[in-house]
């Protein structure tokens, strides 16, 4: 079973775009049952659907989760591929507080292991940047502890794919993230340059700098193309070695 943890230099840098393309590339490489996992999704809409008996069911659904499900080939129970669906588009620990929930890494880890029992390949997409808080001590009692997306990656012990949102400041963000990954003993197996600002100056020079400074291969350079076909993106994505 193959699995990767996709993280980013920040929120809104294209982690879902890359995760979905990675799922398709894995399927094209011969992995029949591929599934994406978004352990924590903050910012959801309430959607309803009818089952075969015509009974309506509702759930909180995040657009990133929907995109991962569309890119995968394996349908699983929602609590497996998205254990925490939180309504408010906030940092996960704040969204969880608003929803009256506490994000439990043990629960996420158990959901991941349930997925890997059924899949040939799993792509886990982190929330926000690498060290975004997922849980916090209780503001009143002080009970509990801080936990971050990095702590989750450490729990799962998966190779890391870093998505670099190509915009001003990305060099600092990418190099800091690389240091944070290495300091935890995790392996950065590849990175993707995803152009999120079409007006960014010196784009080629910034990519070249990252190629010299990031200690992992560049798996793809994705142009500014919000409506790009996922199949096309997957075809240009090199799988980590």
In tens, the pLDDT along 98-157 reads 999 999 999 999 999 999 999 999 999 999 999 999 999 988 888 888 999 999 999 999
Q: Which residue has the higher pLDDT, 58 or 171?
A: 171
- Encoding tokens for residue 39? 């352990």
Rounded CA separation 237/18 (Å): 9
Rounded CA separation 78/47 (Å): 13
pLDDT tier for residue 227 given thresholds of 50, 70 and 90:
confident
Buried b (16+ CB within 10 A) or exposed e, 59-76: ebbbebbbbbbebbbbeb
Catalytic entry in 38, 97, 173, 195: 38
Residue 52: predicted pLDDT: 61
In tens, the pLDDT along 176-213 reads 999 999 999 999 999 999 999 999 999 999 999 999 99
Rounded CA separation 180/67 (Å): 28
**pLDDT reading at 70 higher than 80:** yes
Q: Total structural domains in the chain?
A: 1
Residue 38 annotated as catalytic: yes
Percentage of the chain exceeding pLDDT 90? 87
Rounded CA separation 130/229 (Å): 27
Residue 144: predicted pLDDT: 84
Residue 163 pairs in a beta bridge with 8, 192
**pLDDT reading at 36 higher than 70:** yes
What does 77-133 look like in DSSP terms, one character per residue? Answer: -HHHH-SEEESS-S-HHHHHHHHT----HHHHHHHHHHHHTT-SEEEEEEEEETT-E
Average pLDDT of the chain, as a whole number = 94
Rounded CA separation 44/127 (Å): 13
First to last CA, the chain: 15
pLDDT tier for residue 50 given thresholds of 50, 70 and 90:
low
At 203, which CATH number?
Answer: 3.40.50.300
**For residue 183, what are the domain limits?**
2-235
Residue 87: predicted pLDDT: 97
pTM, two decimals, is: 0.94
240 in any annotated domain: no
| Dihedral of the alpha carbons of 191, 189, 1, 165, in degrees to the nearest 10 | -20
241 in any annotated domain: no
């Amino acid at each position: 079973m193959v699995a990767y943890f996709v993280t980013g230099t920040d929120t809104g840098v294209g982690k879902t775009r890359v995760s979905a393309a990675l799922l398709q590339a894995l399927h094209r490489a011969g992995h029949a049952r591929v599934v994406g996992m978004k352990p924590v999704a903050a910012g959801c809409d309430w959607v309803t659907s009818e089952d075969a008996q015509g009974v309506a069911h509702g759930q909180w659904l995040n657009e990133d989760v929907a995109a991962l499900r569309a890119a995968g080939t394996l349908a699983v129970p929602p609590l497996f591929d998205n254990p925490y669906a939180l309504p408010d588009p906030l940092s996960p620990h704040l969204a969880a507080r608003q929803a009256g929930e506490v994000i439990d890494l043990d629960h996420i880890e158990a959901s991941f292991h349930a997925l890997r029992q059924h899949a040939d390949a799993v792509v886990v997409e982190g929330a926000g940047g690498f060290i975004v808080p997922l849980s916090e001590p209780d503001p009143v009692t002080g009970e509990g502890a801080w936990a971050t997306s990095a702590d989750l990656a450490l729990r799962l012990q998966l190779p890391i794919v870093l998505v670099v949102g190509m915009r001003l400041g990305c060099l600092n963000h990418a190099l800091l993230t690389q240091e944070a990954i290495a300091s935890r003993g995790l392996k950065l197996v590849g990175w993707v340059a995803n152009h999120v600002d079409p007006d960014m100056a010196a784009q080629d020079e910034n990519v070249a700098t990252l190629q010299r400074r990031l200690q992992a291969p560049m798996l793809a350079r994705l142009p500014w193309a919000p409506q790009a076909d996922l199949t096309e993106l997957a075809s240009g994505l090199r799988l980590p070695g």
